[in-house]
Amino acid sequence: MSALGALLSRRPASGRTVGLRSQLALAVVCAGYAVGAAFGWGSPGVALFMGDFGLSIAALIAAVSCFLYARTGGSRFRPAWFLFSLSSAMAAGGNAVWGWYEVVLGRAVPTPSLADLFFLCFAPPAIVGLLVLAKRPVTRAGWVCLVLDAWLIGGSMLTLSWSLALAHTAHLVNTAGESVARAALSLAYPLLDIVLVSMVLALHFRRGNANRSAVHTAIAGLALTVLCDALFTAPLLRSAYESGQLLDAGWFAGSLILAYAPWGARRGQDNAVESLGPEPRAMSRPIAGSIAALTPYLAAAVCTLSILYNVVEGRRVDRVVVLTGCTVVLALVLRQAIMLLDNIALTQELAQKENHFRSLVQGSSDVIMIAEPTGRLRYVSPAAAGVYRREAEDLEGAELSSIIHPDDLGGVVHELRRFLAAPSREEPTTRIECRFRSGTGDWLHVESTVNRHQGGLLLNSRDVTERVRLQAQLQHNAEHDPLTDLPNRALFTARVGQALNGRRAGDPGTAVLFIDLDGFKAVNDSIGHQAGDELLVQAARRLLESVRTSDTAARLGGDEFAALIVGDGTHDQAAREDQVHEIAERLRLRLSQPYRIGAQEVRVAASIGVAFAESSSTPKDLMRNADLAMYRAKAGGKDRVELYAPQMQADVVRRSELAARVRTALRDGEFALLHQPVVHLASGVVAAVAAQARWRSAQGILFTPAEFLRVSEDSNRAAELSAWLLEEAVEQAADRSRAGHPVSVSVRVSAARLLDRTLPPGPVEALLARHGLPSGALMIEVADSDPRISFDELEQRLVALRRLGVRIALDGFGSGYAAVNALRRLPIDVLKLDRCLVEGVVESARLHKITSGLLRIAGDLGMQSVADGVDAPEQVRALRAMGCTHGQGMAFAGPLDEYRLRRTLIRGEYPVPGIGPTAQPVLAGGAIPLPSRPHDETPVPPT
């Protein structure tokens, strides 16, 4: 029994105590009756009463007990207990009749009498009840063997009894000349007892497993009753028998034992149900099986001995003995023949099944191994040669631990011990996975299903090395970038979590670097995506070479990389920041070195954001902070390292709130469109108007573009705001034209919005046609300083717009990125000077020369020029003297609403200091002189 089963089997101690008390009470009652019978009960009357009515009461108790148990029980043995109840009732009736004659009437019991009828009816129900309790044969040969076994036992006992007593009894009956009824009655008792004893002995070794305790107890009670009956049939003892003697104690005890049998057995079954451990194996089972097999031969030996006894004593062998002995020998021969045939059939069936299972085991692709409790392999199937590349003979006799990987041995031993300690009914099998040593010395991943087998283990093993390898490959693919083989975002996040929660949790030296390659999109656009992939692979290799083995480099997606720098326990935060900053600078320089892609040399820069861990940091917070620092580095000019500061998060929150307010303002129509006049500096005539958006808050305040346009550029509402600005500007310009004020309007649009196809030529043409505005009355001011802008795409887009008649102005000239390149490649009609040049044109001689040179270049290229931010009369005179044609600013008027703008257009001009001769207002609707070349060519040939 397992340790768990042994422990749980101690629970029903109270039930065993109750059973012990019942058995003790039964023993005391039976012993008391035996003592009283041995001493004659003190008086003849009490002896007669206890010898007759006492036995009747005991038999009646047995009858009632068996009857009640049969009514409450639900098994198939209910008829047996009903029959035992009937048998006991017959015994109670017979003893009651004896008591009536001896105690009530005070005379001897006549022979034959009603008591004989009751006693004769005692054996048949008991015999049938034993048949019900017995284990039923499943074949016809089994039934025949059961009958033969019963006859072998009964015949041998009949032979022995006839030789010892029954022949003498029959002789006395014949000599006395008694009637046939009395003669039959004299022989009926011993013969029925012989039959009952035969059934008891024959069925004792054929009992079923169910109700075993009840069957044992019932057989014991019936055996005691039959023994007393056999003693009573002896002529010598029967002639001197009187009621109340010691022989009655045997009948009394047999009845009470039969009464106790079902209820005592029921308590034992309840206790067994409560126990969860496996059923203990009976130690006497082999002995009982041997006795059962020898019973027929013992019976034949008894029969033979009885005949030899008569021969040795010189008696004449009775015909009954000879006839019975012959039938016993014949039954033994028949039984032996049946058993021989049965054994031959079983042997053939066993050989067939053995061949069948041997074929299954030897032909299975799985390795089947049987291990002894000590761990030694007792059997290994031939499949080991194909799976383990080792012959089965080499493995047999080896220790199981010798072929298991040392790192896996502890887990395997723990699981096997737990499995063997668990109840087999709750956990019939278990599964283990470990590495086995193959014949080539390699370690194979093996999965085994383990079963219990005769105190040892039965292992059904299969090679799952390929499956484990595939799982590992899938796991690697799920956690690594397929292009660079660096950890991806998921694995990098997990590594950051381990660094924050591991043994160095809270180390302020732990840092995360976010890296973005500046100019990578231009590489993709210029030399192709395959070259871009090669650049990413080289950048990943450089990143991996630049970090320590304890750090983690990862690719987050696109051209974004990251690195986890694990802290070294340094408590000097300033020193640690300097160290990490130095690592980041070294990494920036390494990534910014030229890349050799095929025959070309490509350059990109790296913007790096650094964030240090804090005591309450989470992986999400730390990575977000590094990302914010990286975007701050890009916004600060790119190709630099930026450390995270809490103010960055506050700026993000503020910008997010402002973006949400802008989104709400767009939805609620809170934006207003103002126009600032563009004045011809030579005449003061309003040549055009520049559309400018203003945000009118709920309090009536108009916010300037600087307070919301930058937010809108970075938000998803940038395209919507640009579309709204263009739509309103064209619609109002068309209304003014129909009202008699045909003045052109300029709309500022970033190059990024143009390349995002927010202003494709088709919708612009449809917009002009819908509102009836001539295409020449619209001018697009292109403004951008982003070096990542592709001039090829921008040139194609602007050429398409010029084909529609839309004029193009270059806004912010003098402050942006690659201004000369823009002049060289883009189809520009108007050059708009930036405010920074205009503000110092009077005070600074240097700016005066720069501005004069730029205006001279514009004039040489045949472009009109517009100065933005002209706020003072001195600036007007200086710019006009330099050759600037137009200006806008507070020197003339600020942004005007529609009412004030129309009043200005009615007036038509502004006073200009030092006005000379009137010039043609070319921006007011006249055509700008362009070179006589197609619009798809650049205005100036490349230099």
- Note the pLDDT tens digit of each residue in 587-601: 999 999 999 988 888
In this prediction, residue 176 carries a pLDDT of 47
Report pLDDT for 608.
Answer: 94
Residue 513 has pLDDT above 70, yes or no: yes
Coarse DSSP helix, strand, coil percentages of the chain, rounded to the nearest 5 percent: 60, 15, 25
Which tops the pLDDT comparison, 502 or 12? 502
Can the peptide bond before residue 112 be classed as cis, meaning omega within 30 degrees of 0?
yes
Q: What is the reported pLDDT for 929? A: 35
Query: Comparing 371 with 211, which gets the higher pLDDT?
Result: 371
Of 59-63, 644-648, 899-903, 936-940, the poorest mean pLDDT is in 936-940
Strand pairing category for 864-868 and 830-833: parallel
Grade residue 786 by pLDDT with cuts at 50, 70 and 90. Answer: low
Higher pLDDT, 27 or 700: 27
Measured distance CA(112)–CA(119) in Å, rounded: 11
Rounded alpha-carbon distances, angstroms, from residue 837 to 516, 527, 875, 879: 33, 37, 11, 11
Distances (CA, A) of 190 to 219, 226, 590: 18, 9, 115
Which sign does the torsion angle of CA 710, 714, 716, 722 carry? positive
Query: Of the ranges 166-180, 553-567, 792-806, 909-923, which is most confident?
Result: 553-567
Phi-psi region of 689 (alpha: psi -120 to 50; beta: other; left: phi over 0): beta
Q: For residue 526, what pLDDT is reported?
A: 81
Q: Which residues pair with 565 in a beta bridge?
A: 511
- 3-class DSSP state of 61: helix
Compute the distance between CA of residue 270 and CA of residue 257 in angstroms, rounded to an integer. 20
What token pair was written down for 813? 């000239």
Q: How many CB atoms lie within 10 A of CB 51?
A: 28
Kindly state the average pLDDT of the residues 196-206.
55
Three-state secondary-structure class, residue 107? coil
pLDDT tens profile 125-170: 887 777 777 666 667 777 777 677 666 666 665 665 555 555 555 5
* pLDDT the model gives residue 190: 58
Q: Among 63-67, 91-95, 131-135, 686-690, which stretch is predicted with the lowest mean pLDDT? A: 131-135
Q: Residue 917 — pLDDT band, cuts 50, 70, 90?
A: very low
Residue 861 DSSP one-character state: T
Helix/strand/coil for 809: strand
pLDDT tens by residue, 214-256? 777 887 887 788 778 767 766 555 666 777 788 888 889 888 8
Q: Mind listing the pLDDT tens digit for each residue in 35-56?
A: 888 888 878 888 888 888 888 9
The band of 314, judged by pLDDT with boundaries at 50, 70 and 90, is: low
Position 927 confidence tier, pLDDT thresholds 50, 70, 90: very low
Strand arrangement, sheet containing 443-453? 377-380, 367-371, 456-463, 443-453, 429-437
**Alpha-carbon separation of residue 696 from 665, 672, 704 (angstroms):** 8, 7, 10
- pLDDT of res. 279: 41
What is the pLDDT at residue 866?
93
Among 179, 58, 165, 63, smallest CA distance to 121 is for 63
> How far is 58 from 762, CA to CA, in rounded Å?
117
Strand order in the sheet with 560-565: 552-557, 560-565, 511-518, 605-612, 641-643
- Amino acid 10: pLDDT: 39
H or E stretch covering 514: strand 511-518
pLDDT mean across residues, the chain:
77
> For 75, left (φ over 0), alpha (ψ -120 to 50), or beta?
beta
Please tell me the predicted confidence (pLDDT) of residue 936. Answer: 34
CB atoms within 10 A of CB 721: 23
pLDDT tens digits, 627-674: 999 988 888 778 899 998 888 888 777 777 777 777 777 777 788 889
Angle at 771 between CA 766 and CA 774, to 5 degrees: 80
Amino acid of residue 934? P
Question: What is the rounded CA–CA span in Å between residue 50 and residue 99?
Answer: 9
Question: What pLDDT sits at residue 111?
Answer: 73
Nearest to 554 by CA among 601, 490, 616: 490
CB distance 515 to 587 below 8 Å: yes
Q: What's the predicted TM-score (pTM) here?
A: 0.50
Q: How far apart are the first and last CA of the chain?
A: 100
Predicted local distance difference test score (pLDDT) of residue 782:
87
Q: Tokens at residue 918, please?
A: 């009137």
